Amino acid sequence: MEIRVNPPYNSLTRYGIFFAFLLICIVLAFSTPRFFTVSNLMIIGTQVSINALLAFGVTFVIITGGIDLSLGSMVAVTGVVAAMFAHPDTYPLAVPILAGLGAGLVLGGFNGLVITKSKVPPFIVTLGTMTIGRGLALILSKGRPISNLSDSFNFIGGGNILGIPFPIIILVLAFAVCAVILNKTILGRYMYAVGGNEPAARASGIHVTKVKMWVYTICGLLSALGGILLTSRITTGQPNAGAGFELDAIAAAIIGGTSTSGGTGTMTGTLIGALLIGVISNSLDLLNVTSYYQQVVMGVIIIGAVVLDSAGKKGRE
């Protein structure tokens, strides 16, 4: 049996978020002269990098019809694990990086295993692992920040190459890899098939359990990369780090056009969604708008994105 995956977007949905982003940038350029300075654009890119990494991971998950609420907790526990091995003159740089990424792989794989074997909804499973992850971060750190990290480790989140912040370089590389996985591999096609029609995917011979295991494991790996970046950037392993990050990541994916019902989404759209959140937050800071109003603005944007997604789905039907 052959599965035909419908094109992820119609023309309006495909380009609407890009034109909205472009329009907002133009308006902000006239509203505040500081917005389009090189230094400010670098700040935006650095600030967006962590949220974008998490958003890439959760995009895979949402495309398959799932959700992951444990992203913020995974950022905390993987950052703590990396910080435990990042003291000067203790281990080479590869050790804390591999330890943090390994923790992310284990946590992501655990999510996938429980979801696929227990048949419990992903919302419930990841809500539980969100609490577990936060508890593990507190246990490993004994409730205290882990500081005195090596300069080489702190370079990951705070250094630059040829004037370009290293987090932006990591973001670009991660985006390229994720885009290739989603658009150019069999796994990517299977993700769309599973999210679009899981029973049909099973009937066609797709191993749905393996696809979901891969998706949640990749999501855990990207969350760990975000945790390492954050820990390096703030130069401490904070057990309370990452609180609320999962909401920003999910918002970026949804704003970028990833359908909450599964089967639709692109990495380009998610990247633009993350940039849009970062640009709005940065511009409101430049305009001296308090954080309370910023939360209201972001909430309105998220609701608007979901409404547009629902309208677009009805139009396609």
Looking at the DSSP assignment, which residues form a beta bridge with residue 164? 161
- 41 is a domain residue: no
pLDDT at res. 35: 83
Please list the helix, strand and coil fractions of the chain in percent, rounded to the nearest 5, in that order. 75, 0, 25
- 313 is a domain residue: no
pLDDT at res. 1: 43
Domain limits at 132? 46-243
pLDDT at res. 316: 54
pLDDT at res. 116: 93
- What's the rounded Cα separation, in Å, for the pair 181 and 179? 5
- 123 is a domain residue: yes
- 268 is a domain residue: no
The CA distances from residue 249 to 61, 71, 256, in Å, are 12, 8, 11
**Residue burial 267-294, b: 16+ Cβ < 10 Å; e: rest:** bbbbbbbbbbbbbbbbbbbeeeeeeeee
Asked if 97 and 252 count as a contact pair (C-beta separation under 8 A), the reply is: no
Within 13 Å, how many C-alpha atoms sit on residue 246's CB side? 23
Stretches where the chain sits below pLDDT 70 are 1-15, 305-306, 308-317
- 136 is a domain residue: yes
- How many domains does the chain fold into? 1
Phi, psi of 164 (to 5 degrees): -100, 120
- 228 is a domain residue: yes
- 286 is a domain residue: no
Number of helices and strands in the chain (H, E): 13, 2
First to last CA, the chain: 22
Q: Which two tokens stand for residue 267?
A: 């990495």
Residue 288 contacts by C-beta under 8 Å, 6 or more apart in sequence?
none
- 156 is a domain residue: yes
| C-alpha 80, offset from chain centre | 19
Query: Closest Cα partner for 130 from 49, 208, 66, 72?
Result: 72
Q: H-helix or E-strand containing 164?
A: strand 164-165
pLDDT at res. 14: 57
pLDDT at res. 296: 85
Predicted TM-score of the model (pTM): 0.90
